[in-house]
Amino acid sequence: MQSHLACFNPACRARFDINDVLYNCTVCGGLLEAKYDFSGADPVALKKTWRERRMDNSPLCQSGVWRYREMFPFLDDLRHVVTLREGNTPQLNAPRAAGYGGLARLTFKHQGFNPTGSFKDNGMTCGAAQAKRLGMKRVACVSTGNTSASMAAYASAGGLDPLIFIPHGNISYGKLAQALEYGAKTFQVEANFDQILALVRVLAERLGIYLLNSINPFRIEGQKSIVIEMIDQRDWRVPDWIVLPGGNLGNVSAFGKGLREMYETGLIDRMPRLGVVQAEGSSPFYEYMAAKGLQPFHAQEHPETLATAIKIGDPVSWPKAQFEIENSKGTVERVTEQEIADAKAVIGQCGIGCEPASAATLAGIRKLTAAGVIDRDADVVAVLTGNVLKDPDYIYRYHTGELTAPNGTPIKSTFGNKPIVVPNDAERIGQLIG
Ligand code: F0G
């Protein structure tokens, strides 16, 4: 077997066919991952091929995911690919945010520049391709909003029927609007993310629907391209740290796997450290890691945060995330609602902007530099996971001093920028401008 699925649990490692419709190991219930034989890989030739593809206008080469397909060779027929030219996201220097984060320099890799405005597109193009390869007709996911927006777009673009399940009243309108516009059948369920995931797994099994949550190993394969593209854009110079927000913990699992495979194939000469940041009211992984193995993993029954993208109390991928954090000598931090809101406004002042969950990165970096975990001179890339326009309601409330944390505490509008209502009077407006 060349490419195959394998159980992630080191005590099991059962193997399955790449075409099996499975989300967990049938032997031990562990998480699954795609495995390949990279023994013949030539890093110099791969780097050259990937550069040449940037000059090629074919859809597969213009995709910032499929350009790197040698690193996830699970498809036998590339005609199954559904691409909206995902990836190709910029790395932006942000001196002001660096200063706020206690760093000499800081780069943001902005996944919000993706076709549906979040990093989910990197994984969804692979998940949708596998769905088509398997001959599936319907695909489903539970989502805090971005996965559903992305799945709706890729399914519709690829002629699949998207079914979306979201926690009623708990996702931003920007994301809900995308699901409706891209033609998904959308169910607003009166339950939280973790409860709905259990429900959708039952429905998928019962109705033969293909599940496209990040428990799907092919989503993870696509999300590896975020770190491959990142390091390619840096001419293969490895950063000291890569910092990202953590919710269901699929993305950190993908980054860790991608980096390990790059290291094993000789594409990079060392591993960067991974930093995951959670919202304080929704931080089961932080608590587990802080207990240093003295406590089992405890799900949080009622996670709370205004960063709704990462409002998840029972993240499915925590065993993978734990492995990748430990393997990369990384760390996990958590930040308050106020810290997220202020960091987000600073990212906005850089002319960059992002959604609340993404800003947890800068808030976390500020704490980690203050604690001496990240050095002031470290070379840090923070991954902004979603576009600024995903949650405009949050932005308006912050700047006008109307934002309140889930526990009722008002959020201070530290970097507030209120709109000014004026009469239609040039004299008066002139005075206000000064
Ligand atoms: N940032 C954003 C903007 C997200 O939408 C998510 C997850 C994360 C960070 C966390 O990533 O789950 O891989 O740790 N959103 C999922 C969704 C859960 O349904 O859209 P993770």
pLDDT in tens, 254-289: 999 999 999 999 999 999 999 999 999 999 999 999
Query: 380-419: per-residue pLDDT in tens?
Result: 999 999 999 999 999 999 999 999 999 999 999 999 999 9
Quick one: average pLDDT of 187-207? 93
Atom of ligand 1 nearest to the CA of 390: 3
Mutate to test the pocket of ligand 1, among 108, 114, 120 (most ligand atoms within 8 A of CB): 120
Q: Identify the pLDDT of residue 417.
A: 97
The predicted structure's pLDDT at residue 354: 98
165 touches 235 (CB < 8 A): no
What is the predicted pLDDT for the residue at 232? 98
Contact 11, 223 (CB under 8 A): no
| Cα–Cα distance, 120 to 178 (Å, whole number) | 13
Largest Cα–Cα distance of the chain, in whole Å?
Answer: 77
Predicted local distance difference test score (pLDDT) of residue 170: 85
Centre of ligand 1 to C-alpha 146, Å, is 7
- pTM here is 0.98
Give the pair of three-digit tokens for residue 300: 């949080």
Residue 365 structure tokens: 């970096």
Query: Is the separation of the CB atoms in 185 and 161 below 8 Å?
Result: yes
Give per-residue pLDDT as tens, 98-151.
Answer: 999 999 999 999 999 999 999 999 999 999 999 999 999 999 999 999 999 999
Q: Whole-angstrom Cα distance, residue 100 to residue 342? A: 10
- Identify the residues whose C-beta falls under 6 Å from ligand 1: 118, 120, 143-147, 214, 245-251, 309-310, 355, 357-358, 385-386
User: Both tokens of residue 88?
Assistant: 């190709």
**Average pLDDT value for the chain:** 97
Give CA separation, 37 vs 9, 73, 77, in Å.
Answer: 19, 10, 18
Give the residue, by CA position, lying nearest to ligand 1 atom 7: 309
Residue nearest to atom 12 of ligand 1 (CA): 248
**Which tokens belong to 398?**
């912050």
Tell me the DSSP string of 168-179.
Answer: TT-S-HHHHHHH
Q: Please give the Cα distance from 289 to 414 (Å, whole number).
A: 31
The yes-or-no verdict on residue 2 having pLDDT over 90 is no
CA distance 134 to 210: 9
* Angle, helix 217-233 to helix 120-133, in steps of 10 degrees: 130
> At 120, which helix (H) or strand (E)?
helix 120-133
Q: Quote the ligand 1 centre to 346 CA distance (angstroms).
A: 21
